[in-house]
């Protein structure tokens, strides 16, 4: 079962230039065709190719040997090449996508500022912006957001000092020497010079992004009346079942608490389009709860953040609660953790505030049966797709449940899955030590900053969410200034350092590419613990080797595999006893 996010980055340069980027795209195609065992997905960026892989399938050394052989043979990568050779190795068959744009006015409110900064007229800025042929260097920041290379440097302009809270969907922006297009409404700090009505991202389309790494783009000035409807909001895609709709098997939300969403084992294969993995922040708790009720380990469940939630059963079901330490009560009956319990029509399940950990999982026999979007039922809130109508749950929502593979036999004693204590993530009240793999730009940070990061403990900020944990403490000297970093791929658990010198630990809804340098990443074996860290919890980082991290991950997988076997054996015995 997928337990974490392991990746290796192949860097072909340190700068953001078209030669390096063309070589990255050539290598991307070569690795895609090679189809190496254990490789999950590839994410091309400006100067590197991030290779996500499953360490339970392929060893790091074996993967490295395979990658080195392909890099040596890939077009344009064996030796340094010039621009002509690099462009020849790109996808020459790629068609040019024309993007109609209304420039200036209400559609491009920063055009005048860009013109002043460049010392040009607004008309000349538009002419230069529309004159070039661009290539999509990478997708990231948000699903379907293209970073475009090829802009005239004369119209380069820095980002806004204070990002906008909401940038309209379809906005065309400039940030330094880059230009790009916001696929839907979101926060952002790029200078907005125009807007298009072209649909850049549709989660019901496969692939979901209109533009792909290596695509060619040309901007075409247009009049507003010729464009039709602009994208106006995030995309409300998820389930056809709405509030109050009853089905034979369903659960009503009475009170979702602070935040409750539908999550499963997450998405795979879409990070190259800017779509994060999402899924349960604590994958171990999800797997254990599903095993308790007879589901496949990564089935969809309800992730309740910070507790204080209430649900009503409309039909009989089997439930289990895992994750954060909460007091769970089913119509007056206590619900022990990781223990299957029958619920009948009209029964109400109440969860208290957590005393340790942050996220509890309500797992139900058959799983939460919202439609799959891009191969997953998980909710991705920033773009509004997946889960239940692409949003957080509200009071009155009715969730459909799938067909149960197993029922807890009437009259049988509940069977609790006996979990070793270290699988629980009750971190509150102590410092949680996490295994850490130095990597990324680790060697670019000053030695004293690296040592300070390891020597200090860091407090989880209240300004944290499923995208990342902001960590508070004494800033690292110099922050990330002066490192000369170019955006590249990210992994869940990566530790980025912003300009203020404070680390950010990326979580499951993270961006797929990032603009801050990274000290390294938390080992996959501990990501479920990271997903349970509450604001105020203290975190510390202990360096480990790749070999240590992978051994620990295999050991965790073995233990979960044993739980799978034990639970299925118990259910077979119970079914046999009931039949007699």
Cα dist from 444 to 14, 17, 230, 340, 545, whole Å = 12, 20, 43, 50, 19
pLDDT of residue 73: 81
> How high is the pLDDT of residue 245?
45
What is the band of 415 on the pLDDT scale with cuts at 50, 70, 90? low
pLDDT at 86: 46
How many whole angstroms separate alpha carbon 263 and alpha carbon 258? 16
pLDDT value at residue 477:
84
Domain 96-226 matches domain 431-544 at the CATH topology level: yes
Predicted local distance difference test score (pLDDT) of residue 244: 39
Q: Over range 532-546, report the average pLDDT.
A: 95
CATH architecture group of domain 6-89:
2-Layer Sandwich (3.30)
In this model, does residue 372 exceed pLDDT 70? yes
Encode pLDDT of 482-518 as tens digits. 676 788 999 999 999 988 899 999 999 999 998 889 9
Instruction: State pLDDT tens for residues 126-138.
Output: 999 999 999 999 9
Residue 76 pLDDT greater than 80, yes or no: no
Whether the predicted pLDDT of 403 surpasses 90: no
Asked whether the predicted pLDDT for residue 425 surpasses 60, the reply is no
Return the pLDDT at 37: 94
Residue-wise pLDDT tens digits, 114-171: 999 999 999 999 999 999 999 999 999 899 999 999 999 999 999 998 889 999 999 9
C-alpha angle 358-462-419 in degrees, rounded to nearest 5 = 15
pLDDT above 70: percentage of residues in the chain: 84
Rounded distance between C-alpha atoms, residue 414 and residue 396, angstroms? 30
pLDDT of 431 = 84
Residue 249 confidence class, pLDDT cut points 50, 70, 90: confident
Domain ranges for the chain: 6-89, 96-226, 250-423, 431-544
Residue 242: predicted pLDDT: 41
User: What average pLDDT does this structure show over 378-382?
Assistant: 96
Percentage with pLDDT > 90 across the chain: 74
Q: What value does the mean pLDDT of the chain take?
A: 87
Q: What confidence score (pLDDT) does residue 276 get?
A: 96
Location of structure tokens 């809804």: 509
DSSP per-residue codes, 367-436? -B-PPPBTTB---BGGGTBSTBTTB---TT-EEEBPPPS----TTSPP------GGGS---TTSEEEEEE
CA dihedral 120, 124, 125, 126 (to 10 degrees): 160
Q: Which CATH superfamily is domain 431-544 in?
A: Cyclophilin-like (2.40.100.10)
Cβ-contact 19, 47 below 8 angstroms? no
So what's the pLDDT on residue 460? 96
pLDDT in tens, 8-37: 999 988 888 999 999 999 999 999 999 999
Q: Quote the pLDDT of residue 241.
A: 40
Per-residue pLDDT, 498: 85
Q: Which tokens hold the place of 291?
A: 């095993």
Global confidence as pTM? 0.91
pLDDT of residue 279: 97
Residue range 386-394: average pLDDT? 97
| Confidence at residue 314, expressed as pLDDT on a 0 to 100 scale | 95
Q: Which residue has the higher pLDDT, 267 or 225?
A: 267
pLDDT of amino acid 16: 85
Q: Which of 451, 546, 530, 548 is nearest to 53 (CA)?
A: 546
pLDDT of 533 above 60: yes
- Report pLDDT for 446: 93
- Which tokens in the block code for residue 185? 């409404």
* Topology (CATH level 3) of domain 96-226: Cyclophilin (2.40.100)
More confident residue, 248 or 65: 65
Mean pLDDT (whole number) for 391-404: 94
Contact present, 57 and 37 (Cβ < 8 Å): yes
Q: Which tens digits make up the pLDDT trace of 465-482?
A: 999 999 999 999 876 666
CA terminus-to-terminus distance, the chain: 34
Q: What is the mean pLDDT of residues 80-87?
A: 46
Q: What is the predicted pLDDT for the residue at 218?
A: 97
Strand-pairing partners, residue 333, are: 330
């Amino acid at each position: 079962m997928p337990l974490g996010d392991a990746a290796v980055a192949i860097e072909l340069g340190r700068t953001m230039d078209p030669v390096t980027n063309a070589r990255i795209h050539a290598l991307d195609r070569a690795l895609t065709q090679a189809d190496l065992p254990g490789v999950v997905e590839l994410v091309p960026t400006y100067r590197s190719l991030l290779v996500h892989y499953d360490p339970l399938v392929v060893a790091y050394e074996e993967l490295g040997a395979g990658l080195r052989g392909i890099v040596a043979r890939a077009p344009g990568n064996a030796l340094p090449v010039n621009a002509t050779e690099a462009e020849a190795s790109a996808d020459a068959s790629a068609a040019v996508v024309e993007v109609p744009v209304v420039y200036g006015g209400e559609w491009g409110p920063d055009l005048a500022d860009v013109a002043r900064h460049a010392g040009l007229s607004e008309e000349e800025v538009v002419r230069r912006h529309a004159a070039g042929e661009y290539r999509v260097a990478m997708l990231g920041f948000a699903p379907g957001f293209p970073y475009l290379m090829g802009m005239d440097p004369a119209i380069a302009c820095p980002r806004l000092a204070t990002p906008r809270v909401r940038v309209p969907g379809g906005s065309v922006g400039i940030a330094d020497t880059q230009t790009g297009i916001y696929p839907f409404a979101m926060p952002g700090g790029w200078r907005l010079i125009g807007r298009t009505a072209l649909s850049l991202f549709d989660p019901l389309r496969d692939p979901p992004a209109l533009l792909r790494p290596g695509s060619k783009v040309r901007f075409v000035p247009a009049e507003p009346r010729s464009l039709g409807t602009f994208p106006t909001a995030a995309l409300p895609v998820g389930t056809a079942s709405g509030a109050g709709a009853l089905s034979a098997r369903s659960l009503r939300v009475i009170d979702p608490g602070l935040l409750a969403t539908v999550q499963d084992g997450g998405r795979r294969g879409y990070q190259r389009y800017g779509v994060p993995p999402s899924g349960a922040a604590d994958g171990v708790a999800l797997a254990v709860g599903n095993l308790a009720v007879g589901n496949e380990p990564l089935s969809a469940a309800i992730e309740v953040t910070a507790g204080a939630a209430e649900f009503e059963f409309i039909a009989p079901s089997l439930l289990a609660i895992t994750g954060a330490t909460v007091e769970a009560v089913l119509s007056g009956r206590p619900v022990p953790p990781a223990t299957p319990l029958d619920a009948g029509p009209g029964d109400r399940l109440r969860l208290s505030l957590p005393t340790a950990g942050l996220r509890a999982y309500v797992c139900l026999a058959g799983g939460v049966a919202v439609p799959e979007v891009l191969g997953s039922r998980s909710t991705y809130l920033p773009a509004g797709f997946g889960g239940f109508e692409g949003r957080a749950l509200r009071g009155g929502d009715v969730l459909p449940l799938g067909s149960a593979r197993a029922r807890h036999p009437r009259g049988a004693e509940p069977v609790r899955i006996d979990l070793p204590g270290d699988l629980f993530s009750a971190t509150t009240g102590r410092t949680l030590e996490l295994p850490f793999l130095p990597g990324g730009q680790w060697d670019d940070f000053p030695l004293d900053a690296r040592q300070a990061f390891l020597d200090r403990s860091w407090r989880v900020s209240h300004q944290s969410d499923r995208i990342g944990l902001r960590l508070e403490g004494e800033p690292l000297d110099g922050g990330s200034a002066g490192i000369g970093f170019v955006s590249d791929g990210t992994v869940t658990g990566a530790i980025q350092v912003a300009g203020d010198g404070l680390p950010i630990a990326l979580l499951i809804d993270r961006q797929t590419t990032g603009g801050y340098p990274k000290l390294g990443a938390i080992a996959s074996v501990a990501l479920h613990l990271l997903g349970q860290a509450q604001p105020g919890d203290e975190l510390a980082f202990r360096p480990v080797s790749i070999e240590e991290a992978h051994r620990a991950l295999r050991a965790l997988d073995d233990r979960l595999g044993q739980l799978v076997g034990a639970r299925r054996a118990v259910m077979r015995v119970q079914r046999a006893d009931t039949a007699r």
